[in-house]
Amino acid sequence: MSSRAHPGQLRAELLALGLTAATVLLLDQVTKAMVAASIEVGGRIEVIGDLVVLWHVRNTGAAFSLFQGGQAFFLVVTVLAFGMLIYFQRVFRGRGPLLHVVLGLVLGGTLGNLVDRVRLGYVTDFISVGIGDLRWPTWNVADGSLVVGILALVGYLTFFDRPRSEVTA
């Protein structure tokens, strides 16, 4: 069905992907700029007591401050991620705009952190959740979008996407 999708459906899917990615990118960059303008690096503001804290961090690693350093490695991973997104967009043609919203979440998150890496040499993280010293790694809108998008994609592929042999049988 993917190659025989109606042109109107293909436009709707690309629009869903593009608008979602643009919205995530905009939200990510605006929130990072707000944090950078209002909280000094290392500074913290409690939002919900110690449970949710805005904590301005410069991350030279991957999502959630993992694997610090290695900018060149992360740029290569980003290029591979773009390749996979192009592949998925082509494979999922004709399956509806909702699946392309999921791809837009991944694309927007990937672009949000790429913009920071290229422009600044680091990614601005600022959302910290936990209690005392027991905290989840600090993250941002792009990281959250990537995680939600990837989990939704894995869920779709695991529970809803039938192998082609089942579809043609």
What residues are labeled active site?
125, 143
For residues 32 and 116, is the Cβ–Cβ distance under 8 A?
Answer: yes
CB 103 within 8 A of CB 13: no
DSSP tag of 132 = T
**CB count in 10 Å sphere of residue 31:** 18
Q: How far is CA 167 from CA 1, 160, 161, 163, 164, in A?
A: 10, 12, 10, 7, 5
CA 6 to chain centroid, in Å, comes to 28
- Contact (CB, 8 A) for 57 and 42: yes
